[in-house]
Amino acid sequence: MMARRVVVLGVLLALVAVIVPDAGRQRFDASLMKVEGVTGLDTDPGVVWILALGSDARPGQSVLHSRADTIQLVGFNPNTGHATVVGIPRDSYVDIPGYGRDKINASMVYGGPQLTARAVAGMMGIAPDYVFTTSFWGFSRMVWTMGGVRVWSRHSFAEPLAKIRRGWNQVDGVEALVFVRQRKQLPGGDFDRSYNQGRFLIDGLRQALSVARNSGGLERILYTFMKQTDVDIGPVELYRLARAVLEIQPSKVEHCVIRGRTGYAGGASVVYPDLSQAHNIARRAGRDGRLEGRC
Amino acid sequence: MSSTPVATERAFDTSGRPAMLGRVDDMRRRLLAPALALALLVGGCSGDEADDEAAEPPGQAGAPTLRQHPADLDVRIARVAGHLPKATARDVSQRLGRVVATWFDGAFLTGDYPREHFAGYASFTRDAARLARRSAGITSNVRLGPRWVEVVPTRRVVRLHVFAPGHRASGATASVELVMVGIGSAGDASELAVTGDLYLTKTDAGWRIFGFDLNRSVGEPGDFAGRSGRRDRKGDRSDRQPPKRPGQHERGSR
């Protein structure tokens, strides 16, 4: 039971890929930092934006300077409980400040999570307030410590390490990684993968909130989270942020994936994102955290 | 018996960072008077009562008063997430207890009755205080204040869940239970229970309440204090809620 009460907050924000052992030289498997100096569309200050990144760092590689294969932008309004989860395909071909046009997942290699946050801000027109980054192992460990997550899948698929059926699935840390990494067996490829990542975020959030809202639950979760995460914001700000997250009502969470057309740039397969859709989502969700059902 | 719809409020300081939140749930209940209520009350003039709590309010000569002894403030740390040295934990408990007591006193217990105006938000952050004032019907005694001539607390319990990374307390949830008996000018008595959670963090001005999630219930004397007369040594919230009677309260949210 205790294990279920641990680190759940991290899972709200953590998405990732393949099973790879810990990145050795890294002290932490995850990181939470405040975004400094990013600019974008001015939004209602009542909405808090968190960028959740899943690093595909391999053993010996830097978690914070490897490609970001999972990119989910979460906006929520603590006043109303509304939230919007926006999936950004990793191959989105966008402007990366100071580096020209490239796949958005390369931005973390160039400049870490802060640069990815700036690239997302440029693409979406929304400036994240916080960015959370985790590794494969960090993500898997969070799911394990939650005792698994019950997640909804639109498609069935099978891998040696996990079989996912259409509908509800109870997944452990390993199966969760398979779920959020799967791309080839999904009809929509990278877009469906991004959808699954957002879906996992929402279902993990629902489970995490039920634990964190217990008496004393938030304090225990945060303490464990801090031990396992490289947090560059103060504990007071973290505590207030977590209290705000607890105001999210899962029934009021909406979910979109940025559309786009596939193509090639420099010989690489890329996605040309629908920037008008991205800006439209950001503008509407930026008002009070909700989209009212339209992606 | 009757019930009154509940005003539930959620709010945050929206200055760019989550700074406070509030959720207020008012469960006002009018219950059949249990006989034990009478044990708490003494009709008629209190005359030479020594207890300040029983002192005759100005302009209320001849009004009925309470003989109930005011309950002590009971503050304990239920759990620390992290580690605090004993002395530090004692200090944190005292500081947080004072913060909560400032609200208890200012919003409910101290000052002359009857009255219509209540303050008591000095230990809140500025924006949390603004939200609390907006919900003054739950976060203070503004509803019963004009009708009561005297009030005495029968239960003042605070249980603390402290977030303490790096051996320092940074945030806390204070689960509170404030029960008081008030007497009206006609000798009618009622009991008010305010329960729920307060969220506290350190600020430049010391510990402050930046959010709240509170319930308010009104009944007859003994409805709440009688049940919760047992002291809650383990900080178990299950023992601190006022008795729920189906159909006697509603909840709502905006």
* pLDDT beyond 70 at A125: yes
8 Å CB contact of A216 and B14: no
Q: Could you tell me the pLDDT band of residue A28, with boundaries at 50, 70 and 90? A: low
Quick one: what percent of chain A has pLDDT higher than 70?
Answer: 85
Enumerate chain B positions whose Cβ falls within 8 A of a Cβ in A. Answer: 10-12, 14-19, 21, 78-79, 81-82, 161-166, 168, 170-173, 175, 199, 201-203, 210-211, 235, 237
Q: What is the pLDDT of residue B238?
A: 32
Q: What is the pLDDT of residue A260?
A: 96
Give the count of Cβ contacts less than 8 A between chain A and B. Answer: 94
* pLDDT beyond 80 at A87: yes
Higher local confidence (pLDDT), B130 or A279: A279
In a domain, residue A61? The reply is: yes
Q: What is the pLDDT of residue B193?
A: 93
Nearest CA in chain B to A5: B81
Chain A residues with CB inside 8 Å of B211's CB?
243
- Asked which of A26-40, A106-120, A237-251, B232-246 is least confident by mean pLDDT, the reply is B232-246
Average pLDDT over residues A123-134: 93
Chain B residues with CB inside 8 Å of A220's CB?
79, 81
8 Å CB contact of A219 and B79: yes
Mean pLDDT score of chain B: 71
Chain A residues with CB inside 8 Å of B172's CB?
219
Helix H, strand E, coil C: the string for chain B is CEECCCCCEEEEEECCCEEEEEEEEEEEEECCCCCCHHHHEECCCCCCCCCHHHCCCCCCCCCCEECCCCCCEEEEEEEEEECCCHHHHHHHHHHHHHHHHHHHHHHHHCCCCCCCCCCCCCCECHHHHHHHHHCHHHHCCCCCCCCEEEEEEEEEEEEEEEEEHHHCCCEEEEEEEEEEEEEECCCCEEEEEEEEEEEEEEECCEEEEEEEEEEEEEECCCCCCCHHHCCCCCCCHHHCCCCCCCCCCCCCCC
* pLDDT beyond 80 at A19: no
Q: Which of B165, B173, B202 sits opposite A223 (nearest CB)?
A: B165
Q: Could you tell me the pLDDT band of residue A172, with boundaries at 50, 70 and 90? A: very high
Chain B residues with CB inside 8 Å of A243's CB?
18, 21, 171, 199, 210-211
In a domain, residue A161? The reply is: no
Q: Could you tell me the pLDDT band of residue B69, with boundaries at 50, 70 and 90? A: confident
8 Å CB contact of B161 and A222: no
Q: Which of A44, A79, A219 sits opposite B81 (nearest CB)?
A: A219
* pLDDT beyond 80 at B37: no
Q: What is the pLDDT of residue B232?
A: 36
Residues 212-251 in A contacting B (C-alpha not used; CB under 8 Å): 215-216, 218-220, 222-223, 226-227, 234-241, 243-244, 247
Q: Which of B78, B82, B203 sits opposite A216 (nearest CB)?
A: B78
Q: Could you tell me the pLDDT band of residue A229, with boundaries at 50, 70 and 90? A: confident
Average pLDDT over residues B47-60: 37
* pLDDT beyond 50 at B249: no
8 Å CB contact of A226 and B210: no
Are B165 and B211 contacting, i.e. CB atoms less than 8 angstroms apart? no
8 Å CB contact of A79 and B161: no
* pLDDT beyond 60 at A255: yes
- CATH number, domain containing residue A6: 3.30.420.590
Q: What is the pLDDT of residue B224?
A: 80
Q: What is the pLDDT of residue B65?
A: 59
What is the residue extent of each domain of chain B?
19-35+76-229
Of 3.10.450, 1.20.1070, 2.20.28, 2.40.10, which CATH number belongs to B19-35+76-229? Answer: 3.10.450
In a domain, residue A179? The reply is: no
Q: What is the pLDDT of residue B66?
A: 64
Number of domains in chain A: 1
Domain that includes residue A222, residue range = 2-148+188-286
Q: What is the pLDDT of residue A2?
A: 34
Q: What is the pLDDT of residue A39?
A: 20
